[in-house]
Amino acid sequence: MNDLALGYLASFIAALFFGSNFVPINKIQPKIGDGMVFQAIMSSGVYFTGILSLFITEKPIFVKSGLLGGFFVGCANMLISLVLEFLGLGVGFLFWSGTNLVIGYMVGRFGLFGTEKEEVKSEFYSISGVVLAFFALILFYFIKPITQEDLKLKSKQEKQEKQEKEKQEQQEKELKIIQETNDINSSEWKEIGLSKTETETENQFQTETEIETENEIKIEINGIKNGIENGIENEMNWKEVDFEEFEKESIQKQNEKEKEKEFEKEFEKEFDEYLQARNDTKLIKKIRLMKKKTKHLIGVILAIIVGIFAGVNLIPMMVWSRNNTNSGHFDFVLSHFTGMFLTSIVGLFIYTAFEKPHFSMDAFIPSFLSGVLWAIACISWFVSTRILGFAVGYPIVCIGPILVTSLWSIFYFREIKGKKNFLIFLTTLGLFIIAVTFLVLSKT
């Protein structure tokens, strides 16, 4: 495999794993609390993967400048939770991802911060590819997934509707049983056990047989009574069977209700604990009391800072690679991941000095696994950027994970629904494919 093919393969792997690294924690979000403990455990998974990378490195080395790159990533991860509180996911994601894309591209095209200026064979394809990728990024803002808050609200509404429907059905069944019982035990025909309909039938029969003799009438009536009584007995047996089935169904439904109630109580408890933990922190309380404009402005600034940190985190690796042309693709991994791990741990220590973090140990393994997936993506990103550069490989890895995440949301978690969302996603996918095609053409 030549280097160019390896670069595009690495871009694909990076996009796949960056877009999948949050899958393990998607359904346990209430258990990860305010995010500070989560990012520390996630960085532990990253660091663990970095240690494993030593076994596939020919000459294990430690590069001091790698700590700086890891520091940038660690800071970005810690600030993201604040951005979400200030701006929300939609606007915050748009600002930090857009900034990341633009910064990464400019670093490569203009050779900023000591990196080598990258030459492309077609300026038109290069610029057009990045512009289309940026527009694709903007379109993602208009996709509205179903959040945990939406699920909780929907769950409560469905629960209320279900209870009302079951109550109405129960009342209808009880009313039906009462009516049937009244029909069978009609006070007028208690002695012979005839229903109202059967009463009318016998009256009509008696009218038609008035001209017959008294003995013949008695014989006829007794015969009819016997037949009707047999019919009523069969009808009563049917009603008893129907009631038994109804009773079984009621017991089964009651068991299902109890299970659903237990699940809903557990979900609501975890979610309320998560919200309570966030709302009880001093910082979150201060953010909630801010004016809307002030809150939005601070959120935008923080989101741009996150994008800048993300956009420059690979610069130390690229500068070192430029000065060490014979280095391997994995030589820089451990030092970069060490910087991220140390930054995350120090940040957690500082945070716990002022706030009490909220985290469930049930989320430990998923958080660690999330870090492992992220680390695999980042290693592939190193390879992609070293071969394709910031101008080509970087934009692909910036936008690709968003598509992968959307696919998870559509086909697995069912968070993205509706014709409008699907149309936006397909349009975005088309723009991304064209953007990647242009970027590839600009290089070749």
CA-closest candidate to residue 379, choices 1, 18, 38? 18
Whether 310 is in a domain gets the answer: yes
Whether 367 is in a domain gets the answer: yes
pLDDT band of residue 336 (cuts 50, 70, 90) is very high
Higher-scoring residue by pLDDT: 381, 204: 381
pLDDT band of residue 278 (cuts 50, 70, 90) is low
Whether 180 is in a domain gets the answer: no
Q: Rounded mean pLDDT of the chain?
A: 75
Determine the pLDDT at residue 241: 45
pLDDT in tens, 197-212: 555 544 554 555 454 5
Whether 159 is in a domain gets the answer: no
Distance in angstroms (rounded) separating the CA atoms of residues 267 and 264: 5
Determine the pLDDT at residue 205: 47
Whether 253 is in a domain gets the answer: no
Say yes or no to pLDDT of 368 above 90.
Answer: yes
Residue 41 phi/psi, 5-degree rounding, is -70, -40
Number of H helices, E strands in the chain: 15, 0
**b/e string for 164-202 if b means 16 or more Cβ within 10 A?**
eeeeeeeeeeeeeeeeeeeebeeeebeeebbbeebeeeb
| H or E segment and range at residue 381 | helix 364-388
Whether 417 is in a domain gets the answer: yes
Whether 54 is in a domain gets the answer: yes
pLDDT band of residue 189 (cuts 50, 70, 90) is very low
∠ CA 175-181-182, nearest 5°, is 90
**Lowest-confidence region among 50-54, 110-114, 404-408, 410-414:** 410-414
347, HSE (Cβ side, Cα atoms, 13 Å): 24
Share of the chain above pLDDT 70, in %: 69
Rounded to an integer, the average pLDDT of 413-434 is 80
186, HSE (Cβ side, Cα atoms, 13 Å): 14
Whether 425 is in a domain gets the answer: yes
pLDDT band of residue 151 (cuts 50, 70, 90) is low
Higher-scoring residue by pLDDT: 231, 114: 114
Number of domains forming the structure of the chain: 1
The domain containing residue 143 runs over which residues?
3-151+279-443
